[in-house]
């Protein structure tokens, strides 16, 4: 298994998810017995992070397939199609979810109606999971190699959580950071707390801390001040969807970091597997941006911060234009200063 914590456990047709809503206070695994429970876990953010929800959705299809065959025999495909639609409805922005479901659907078309699909679905979903870990490790090496071109050691700033918790294992941006730390290129990590859900405070700080990687947590609004101090040489983030022209949807606040980084002459790296790339969309304007409940902004857990009845706007992703990005690192290679032509040349 990869270093770091195991967010998704799958063994013999049993799925358990580390409940990311209660970390770091509690390390609690929640079993998912049905694909509806998986969809609900994605909606409730028991599991989150683009590659991780893709992997979970694939396991959800295995649960759906096996239950549908037991209950409906040669009509199992119809019932799995309903389950796939429910999983696809869970969150709109991360394309990895749709990519994984599409891959499972393509396999289902080739399977006989009259045979139990469990083995075939199980092996495909495990492949998706293991391929994601392998992609993360490859990106870790490529990203660290690129950072090594700057005079090191230096600090990096990251946003949200892109580690073992957000992926099949190891991490995207956090995988590059882990590799950079192991190679002595990085000496410190500034982790944005990532309001409102606090992925940085609760998850990234936890992952880095337990591995002994020096981290300081900062309020998101401290980013400009930190960049001005001069020790940060790269901002390193993940992605939920990258369009054909290299625009990147990622956690709300990423776009402001890219603007700040450009102003301060700091490089901006996006790390994401090719399953996050959506070449069917020409630009980031076309990416559906999830909006979540206003309570995520007005309250912290059960504690209400804002006045009663105040309205809140809670878009949970934003789009960073390709012009502000120095490098997109995928497992298939690196695109420097992304454009449609360069994205197509590598990933088309």
The residues that touch ligand MRU, with contacts defined as CB under 6 A, are: 48-51, 94, 160, 162, 166-167, 172, 199, 238-240, 250-251, 316
Query: Closest approach of Cβ 249 to ligand MRU, in Å?
Result: 8
Q: Which two tokens stand for residue 181?
A: 């730390």
Q: 262 with 320: CB under 8 angstroms?
A: no
Name 124's Cβ contacts closer than 8 Å, sequence gap at least 6: 58, 103, 104, 107
Query: 237 with 162: CB under 8 angstroms?
Result: yes
Determine contact, residues 30/17, Cβ cutoff 8 Å: yes
3-state DSSP percent of the chain in helix, strand and coil, to 5: 45, 20, 35
- When the beta carbons of 108 and 271 are compared against ligand MRU, the nearer one is 271
Structure tokens at 263: 């102003």
CB of 94 to ligand MRU, least distance (A): 6
Q: Which is nearer to ligand MRU, 21 or 126 (CB)?
A: 21
Closest to ligand MRU by CB, 125 vs 199, is 199
Question: What minimum distance in Å lies between the beta carbon of 272 and ligand MRU?
Answer: 7
Determine the 3-state secondary structure of 28 from DSSP: coil
Closest distance to ligand MRU from the beta carbon of 255 (Å): 12
Tell me the three state secondary structure of residue 271.
strand
DSSP H stretches of helix in the chain: 35-43, 50-72, 76-88, 95-110, 118-147, 173-182, 199, 205-210, 223-229, 254-263, 295-298, 340-347
DSSP state of 93: S
Q: Is 238 or 246 the residue whose CB approaches ligand MRU more closely?
A: 238
The backbone torsions φ and ψ at residue 159, rounded to the nearest 5 degrees and listed phi first, read: -135, 145
DSSP letter for each residue of 107-169 = HHHHS-TTS--HHHHHHHHHHHHHHHHHHHHHHHHHHHHHHTTS-SSEEEEE-S--SGGGSSS
Give residue 246's region: left, alpha or beta (phi > 0; psi -120 to 50): left
Residue 240 falls in the annotated catalytic set? yes
Q: Minimal CA–CA distance to 164: which of 43, 49, 31?
A: 49
Of 192, 240, 247, 278, which residue is the catalytic one? 240
Residue 123 C-beta: closest distance to ligand MRU, Å: 24
Q: Considering the complex, state which of residue 111 and residue 300 has its C-beta at the smaller distance from ligand MRU.
A: 300
Nearest distance from C-beta of residue 308 to ligand MRU, angstroms: 27
- Which residue sits closest to ligand MRU, CB atoms considered? 238
**Closer by beta carbon to ligand MRU, 108 or else 319:** 319
Catalytic machinery residues: 240
């Amino acid at each position: 298994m990869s270093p770091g914590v195991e967010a998704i456990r799958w063994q013999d047709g049993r799925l358990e998810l580390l409940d990311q809503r209660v970390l770091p206070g509690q390390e609690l695994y929640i079993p998912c017995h049905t694909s509806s429970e998986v969809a609900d876990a994605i909606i409730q953010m028991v599991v989150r992070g683009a590659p991780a929800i893709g992997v979970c959705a694939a396991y959800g299809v295995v649960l759906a397939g096996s239950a549908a065959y037991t209950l409906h025999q040669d009509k199992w495909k119809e019932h799995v199609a309903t389950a796939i639609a429910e999983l696809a409805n869970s969150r709109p922005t991360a394309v990895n979810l749709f990519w994984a479901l599409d891959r499972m659907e393509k396999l289902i078309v080739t399977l006989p109606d009259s045979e139990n699909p469990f083995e075939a679905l199980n092996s495909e979903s495990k492949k998706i999971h293991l391929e994601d870990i392998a992609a993360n490790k490859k990106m870790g090496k490529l990203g660290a190699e690129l950072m090594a071109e700057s005079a090191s050691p230096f600090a990096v700033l990251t946003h949200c959580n892109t580690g073992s918790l957000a992926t099949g294992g190891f991490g995207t941006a956090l995988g590059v950071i882990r590799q950079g730390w192991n190679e002595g290129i990085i000496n410190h990590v500034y982790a944005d707390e990532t309001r409102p859900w606090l992925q940085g405070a609760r998850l990234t700080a936890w992952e880095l801390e337990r591995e002994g990687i020096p981290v300081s947590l900062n309020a998101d609004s401290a980013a400009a001040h930190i960049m001005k101090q001069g020790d940060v040489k790269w901002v390193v983030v993940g992605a939920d969807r990258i369009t054909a022209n290299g625009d990147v949807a990622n956690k709300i606040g990423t776009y402001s970091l890219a603007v700040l980084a450009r102003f301060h002459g700091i490089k901006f790296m996006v790390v994401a597997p090719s399953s996050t790339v959506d070449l069917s969309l020409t630009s980031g304007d076309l990416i559906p941006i999830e909006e979540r409940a206003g309570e995520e902004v007005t309250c912290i857990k059960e504690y209400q911060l804002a006045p009663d009845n105040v309205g809140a706007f809670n878009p949970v992703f934003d789009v960073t234009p390709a012009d502000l990005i120095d490098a997109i690192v995928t497992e298939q290679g690196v695109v420097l200063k992304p454009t449609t032509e360069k994205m197509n040349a590598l990933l088309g």
